[in-house]
Structure 1
């Protein structure tokens, strides 16, 4: 039996145990299935047995890492929940203001953080919406990507919506649920309405609005690009999936390992994709699926460039597609040897890899070439 068939069989078996009134047995089956699929590590053998974990150590750091119990990995990213920034890896959150906020609309309520540059505005500012991955929050994602400091150089606002644990206990955006994949519904509607409110309140440039995300956040950024092309001028997907991938958690988990053929997006929003070819959580083929979704219909009329290089100690292959006027409409960075992490990220945040090209810098440079 194929591994994915066995995984689905176990999921169905867990559902039968729920119907039989035995949720404890159902949980055991699910945990065993996730462990066998490589999406969860076994829990510690004893609750009082501490294990030393060093999360994203700073280069050359000598202080002892904190002691913590081993926790199961998240079934959506393979990361252990509850990771915190280390005291020897200070966060670079930029010289501007990092404001707490909350937004509500008929579809729901979400908190957010907004970075406002310290430098004086020379006109309406561009706005970048950054969607964190599972187990992360706005502060963690800002620290790991260091997007605030890069945005400061270009006078950009940066909005970090934050998933609520009441909506997903691992803080994942629910990209795999049909109700969260459509315009005017669920989380896409909340994020689009939040973006419009920030545009109005801060006098940002409605022609230069962009969305980027990591993992589950990348999958949700794909949905925003597909469902709201009149709002987002370009999108950036890091280690994520195409819009509409998966119709429930089981099919979503399957897609993470076995990328399906995507439904073409109605309008070709420019897209930049980053993915590690050693990503064992979200298969790198999903990055290629995102490219096909947003640029497939235009591929025949675009010129392709290919570059092999080395940045920060990691090799990469960069492919770029331009239109007849030379504008970049699609770009794909395959980072060799990198796993499920933000390329060129900072140790102050989780799910980062300090090696390789700087995804934050490259994404923002790509974004600022485009305006609606």
Structure 2
């Protein structure tokens, strides 16, 4: 007789415990997956953010490095042609080791049958042609006044800070002046320029170099201007340049004056405009006084003329712009030297674009001041008699 099978007794509590255990394991795995996914996502986001920050930081460092290596304090893109006129780029020099880039602006309507005057602008240290064009906003005024503008560009190989080398030895300064004069002649030949209407204006180191150019080639310029520039022909090295800029060497010796008279060979320096801030802590205002004194001394044989002691002076202010004191010296009844002292202006282009270094938008527009002076000293046009 077969043995009867025993019925398995089911313990409901044990079954419930197993079910709970399985559910707990499932929940633990779900929680683990969720936590792992969240942590992975957070880590990925953190890594991506860190990488982005590193890339951005590296890009910023790259931009800063390029800026430092370029020697330009506030670089800008190349100027574009708009609003009537065109920008051109060029290179000129005496060979691969003595070349300079330049930018040229030619307003609309200028051509062979309608040539225009030429304005040469020499930038300061820490600038290039593009940044100086942006600082001065020269294209807008050149369109309105219908003049061609040449902006030579100093090479960072010639000077790490892109300064024109006004403080080098006489031979080096003469070589750089010759290079610039050659560039000006090249532009006059290649473009519709009125070669007897060339004006020269520079800022800071460019202002000092402009004066050196005018003293070496006085018959090539209708007038010359220096904005916040050091007095020329006083420094022969960097140490002396620092003293000149501080105003410690602000007078030319008799020997220096005699050397410059021999260089001029009886020619007269062109009319001179000086614009300088009385709060300039980089190039002291005394440099403007020294440059004016130099011009007046070279224009008259012998001692400094008595008229130099008492120029005509007038104080002007337009709107909220900084006030200016205008000192005028005349020679043979005509305006010859003008010194514009801008109250409260530091080492910056007066009336320049706010986005640029070395620019003070609160000052009166230096370019308008310069063009007004150039127009005032321009020789009267020669009237041609009609042929009968």
Name the TM-score, length of structure 1 as normaliser: 0.72
Instruction: Select between 161-170 and 106-115 the one with higher mean Cα deviation.
Output: 106-115
Who is 1:321 aligned against? 329
Higher share in helix: 2
CA distance in 2, matches of 1:272, 1:356: 17
Q: Quote the offset at 1:232 in angstroms.
A: 1.6
8 Å CA contact retained: 2:80, 2:86: no
CA distance in 2, matches of 1:68, 1:329: 49
Q: Quote the offset at 1:308 in angstroms.
A: 1.1
Structure 1 residue ranges without an equivalent (≥5): 1-47, 51-65, 75-79
Instruction: Select between 282-291 and 142-151 the one with higher mean Cα deviation.
Output: 142-151
Q: Does 2:56 align with 1:103? A: no
Who is 1:216 aligned against? 205
Q: 1:228 aligns with which of 204, 207, 217?
A: 217
Q: Quote the offset at 1:180 in angstroms.
A: 5.6
Who is 1:286 aligned against? 287
Q: Quote the offset at 1:95 in angstroms.
A: 3.3
8 Å CA contact retained: 2:110, 2:192: no
Q: Deviations over 1:200-247 (max 9, x none)?
A: 111311211111111011110010011110212211100002221201
Who is 2:312 aligned against? 305
Q: Does 2:90 align with 1:82? A: no
Who is 1:355 aligned against? 362
Who is 1:128 aligned against? 119
- Give the 3 Å change call, closer, same or farther, for CA 361–280 of structure 1 in structure 2: same
CA distance in 2, matches of 1:200, 1:221: 21
CA distance in 1, matches of 2:103, 2:184: 12
CA distance in 1, matches of 2:117, 2:306: 31
Larger radius of gyration: 2
8 Å CA contact retained: 1:100, 1:111: yes
Q: 1:252 aligns with which of 238, 241, 246?
A: 241
Q: Secondary structure at the match of 1:208?
A: strand
Q: Quote the offset at 1:108 in angstroms.
A: 1.6
Q: Secondary structure at the match of 2:195?
A: coil
CA distance in 2, matches of 1:129, 1:120: 17
Q: Quote the offset at 1:137 in angstroms.
A: 0.4
**RMSD of equivalent CA atoms:** 3.1
Q: Quote the offset at 1:94 in angstroms.
A: 6.1
Q: Deviations over 1:319-362 (max 9, x none)?
A: 1123344x321111111111000111112432111112211011
Q: Quote the offset at 1:272 in angstroms.
A: 0.4
- Give the 3 Å change call, closer, same or farther, for CA 254–314 of structure 1 in structure 2: same
Q: Deviations over 1:153-178 (max 9, x none)?
A: 22211100000011111111111001
Q: Quote the offset at 1:69 in angstroms.
A: 10
Q: 2:130 aligns with which of 124, 129, 139?
A: 139
Q: Deviations over 1:72-114 (max 9, x none)?
A: xx9xxxxx9532359xxx9998631111100012682100000
8 Å CA contact retained: 1:207, 1:371: no
8 Å CA contact retained: 2:80, 2:87: no
Who is 1:277 aligned against? 278
- Give the 3 Å change call, closer, same or farther, for CA 304–275 of structure 1 in structure 2: same
Q: Greater RCO between the two (CA within 8 Å, min separation 6)?
A: 1
CA distance in 2, matches of 1:284, 1:127: 28
Who is 2:190 aligned against? 201
Q: Does 2:351 align with 1:344? A: yes
Structure 2 residue ranges without an equivalent (≥5): 1-53, 262-267, 380-388
Q: Quote the offset at 1:179 in angstroms.
A: 4.0
Who is 1:114 aligned against? 104
Count the aligned residue pairs.
298
- Give the 3 Å change call, closer, same or farther, for CA 70–105 of structure 1 in structure 2: closer
Who is 1:153 aligned against? 144
